[in-house]
A and B are shown apart, each in its own frame.
Chain A
Amino acid sequence: MRTPLSRSFLARWLVPALLLALSPLSALANAPALTPEQLHQLLLKVDERSRTPTDYRVVMTSVIKRDTGTAVREAQLFRRDREERLLLLFTAPKTEAGKGYLREESNLWSYDPNVGRWERRTERESIGGTESRRSDFDQTRYATWFDATYEGTEKVGNANTHRITLKVKEGHDVPFPVIKMWLDVATTNPIKREEYALSGKLLRTVLASGWKKVALKEREEPFWYPEELRLYDELNKGNSSTFKSKAVDMRALPANLFTKAWLESKSR
């Protein structure tokens, strides 16, 4: 025989607890498989969110872990997506201050004030001795550069995700021709990426967390960026880099900022 107390217990604690416990599973089960068109639209949305019609400036702190020890660097990233311009200026420690990268159309240039020389780098090589590539800090082009396949839903940590496999289209040169990506069902943000070599070997895992949005006057879709980016080298096990973003500023940048002269002036 049920007592009022037991009914109250069931109603107040047990049923909500069970619903709470089962809710992620039910959400996962309810996440529908995406059609190719839906998938394409989803990737277009991801790409749209990664670019901003305004200028963009952020202070980044990177922690580079190696067998030999840990190094910390600070840099400022400047972007003007409408002109496909990007500039990365290292500000700390003193030994790295003044070094930088400048993207000019399809060229990436690196500058070292110690030798006072510009060097053309490949777009796809690592940046500043970290596991990162230039594309990690720039707008994405998943929808245009890759053929996507929907793989299903999966839990990543506490998040329900769409698992997608991306294969690069003919004629597009990217560092990682095959990417497995996990998109948060709730926010559509890519929270995990596994990046593979042509041979199919896993080379790098990227975890993006702390996604923040910035409302824009120019369009309805806000601009999104991850506060923390963790990059794991899967060949050199134990090597990793973590980037933390702060002090995001979307105000207009000086017109002459994306020039070699400006970067050189920072080390004088």
Chain B
Amino acid sequence: MLHLLLIAWRNLLQHRKRTAMLSVTLAGISTLMVLLLALTGGARERLLESATLLATGHVNIGGFYKVAPGLATPAVTHYPKLLELVRREIPELEHVSVRGRGWALFVSDARTLKSDIVGVDIQQEPALREVLSLKEGNLEELARPGTVLLFEEQAHKLEAKVGDMLTVSATTFRGVNNTVDVRVVGIARDIGLLSSLSIFLPNATLRELYQLNDDSAGVLQLYLKDMADTPVVQLRLRQLLEKEGFQVLRASEGIYWMKLDAVTQQDWTGQKLDITSWEDEMSLLRFAVTALDALGGVLVALLLLIVGVGVMNTLWVAIRERTQEVGTLRAIGMHRWRVVVMFLLEGSVLALASTLVGVGLGLGLCAVLNAAHIPVPDGAQVVLMTDFLHFQVGPRALLPPVFFVTACVSFVSLFPAFLAARLRPVTAMSHLG
């Protein structure tokens, strides 16, 4: 086998021009694939990061409190007890965010806007502070009661700026109308679709609006050390809470407000918890992630098809040129399958060397482009949930070009190799190449 490899390598060196041409093509394609996969991978990573920081934990303990069958509030009462249980029983836990949930009407001097509201203790949420990019104002002030953080689009709709006062109107969990006045302390840059769905208020202000006790929250967002543990922890948590005597809703997908109608129709009263994963909460987002993965896959498949056809054609021509050589090899006793292996090795060695060079180039380009901070067009921001292009360089971006391009080239080498091996030595030697 070693001497076949040697013959293949020498053949490549002997046909320098053709080898160089194919190498440049394969390296270029590999670089392109790395860029493409790094781009979709980066978008996927940012999407998940933004979503899991803005709207959901890896695992969530949410739920509904019903004072009457027709009055459902997204609230978890006596949450410190749950918090203690979670910290004791979930070793995979990294940290917990206690958030408020609600729906309210925001009234500025000029306009009104109905929006989902999220209560936060901003000083307890360093990761959220990192993901929020402030255009104006001071995020630290969100720690004070009676303040609000808007995203650009929301501020635009309300015609509000930093320092303006807004009235927030909502109905309490008993159905009584209430309002609070809040001061805009910051306007953050939009982070795609999710940022247009939620407005951030301090937890204390949300509790005042909904007349909730200090030990009530909207949801406990659990962040795990490894996101991959989500399904295991979710299942364990559900079993644990049921064992501890908590009423738990049947598992279902969807953002909490999508479940509100169904819960309102049910006849029970009191507290029921809802244990969800980030995938359950972000079923819409999962579609976006799947779409990004599918887009990457389709583009890679297209590239491979083009590469495959091109390489097969080039090898075909090369083998035709070398028909006499094949005849000679067959005449001196080389077996057919060894001829096939020889051509296969030639293609594989060429592909492997080229893709390694291409991947190296791709890595370098990703680093340069990440450093360049290329802005994402506004329209694309809605889907990608990021304002700058981010190329994620990791195994997902680097390994597919090496394996798939090499495998593809090796595979397409088989057909012309088989044709060459099938020739009778006398026919091959008399061929006028």
Q: CB within 8 Å of B: which residues of A?
A: 106-108, 119-125, 168, 173-177, 195, 197-199, 201, 203, 235-236
Contact = CB atoms under 8 A, between A and B. Distances in A.
Contacts of A122: 70-71, 171, 175, 264
Contacts, number: 71
9 residue pairs, one from A and one from B, having the closest CB atoms: A124-B175, A198-B178, A201-B179, A197-B179, A120-B70, A199-B179, A197-B177, A173-B174, A197-B178
Interface string B30-70: 00000000000000000000000000000000000000111
B332 interface: no
Given A107-B70, A235-B105, A235-B107, A173 B176 contact: yes
A236 B179 contact: no
Nearest to B209: A199
B94 interface: no
A115 B181 CA distance: 38
A177 B177 CA distance: 8
B175 A203 contact: no
B167 interface: yes
Contacts of B167: 201, 235
A31 to B, nearest CB: 32
A124 B69 contact: no
B177 A106 contact: no
B264 A124 contact: no
Contacts of A197: 169, 176-179
Nearest to B176: A177
Contact of A198 (B105, B211, B261, B265): B211
Contact of B169 (A106, A119, A121, A235): A235
A121 B261 CA distance: 9
Q: Is the interface of B mostly helix, strand, loop or mixed?
A: strand
Interface centre among A119, A122, A176, A236 (most CB of B within 10 A): A122
Interface string B257-270: 00001001100000
Contact of A203 (B68, B71, B169, B211): B169
Contacts of B179: 197-199, 201, 203, 235
A261 B354 CA distance: 75
Contact of B178 (A106, A107, A199): A199
Contact of A106 (B68, B107, B112): B68
A125 B211 CA distance: 18
Interface of B: 68-71, 105, 107, 112, 167, 169, 171-172, 174-181, 211, 261, 264-265
A173 B69 CA distance: 14
25 contacts: A106-B70, A107-B70, A119-B264, A119-B265, A120-B265, A122-B70, A122-B71, A123-B175, A173-B174, A173-B175, A174-B176, A175-B171, A175-B176, A177-B177, A197-B176, A197-B178, A198-B178, A198-B211, A199-B178, A199-B179, A201-B169, A201-B179, A201-B181, A235-B105, A236-B105
A6 to B, nearest CB: 59
Given A195-B177, A236-B105, 17 more contacts: A106-B70, A107-B69, A119-B261, A119-B264, A120-B70, A120-B264, A121-B70, A122-B70, A122-B171, A124-B175, A175-B175, A197-B179, A198-B211, A201-B179, A203-B179, A236-B107, A236-B112
Contacts of B169: 197, 201, 203, 235
Q: Is the interface of A mostly helix, strand, loop or mixed?
A: loop
Interface centre among A175, A176, A198 (most CB of B within 10 A): A198
B174 to A, nearest CB: 5
Contacts of A198: 172, 176-179, 211
A232 to B, nearest CB: 14
Contacts of B112: 235-236
A131 to B, nearest CB: 12
A1 B176 CA distance: 71
A42 B174 CA distance: 29
Nearest to B171: A124
A199 B71 contact: no
Interface centre among B70, B107, B112, B172 (most CB of A within 10 A): B70
Contacts of A174: 176
A168 B178 CA distance: 14
A140 B405 CA distance: 78
B69 A120 contact: yes
B171 A125 contact: yes
Contacts of B171: 122, 124-125, 175
Contact of B70 (A123, A168, A176): A123
Contacts of A124: 171, 175-177
A117 to B, nearest CB: 9
Nearest to B208: A199
Contacts of A121: 70
A97 B261 CA distance: 23
Contacts of B70: 106-108, 120-123
B165 to A, nearest CB: 12
Nearest to A235: B107
Contacts of B105: 235-236
Contacts of A176: 176-177
B372 to A, nearest CB: 44
A110 to B, nearest CB: 11
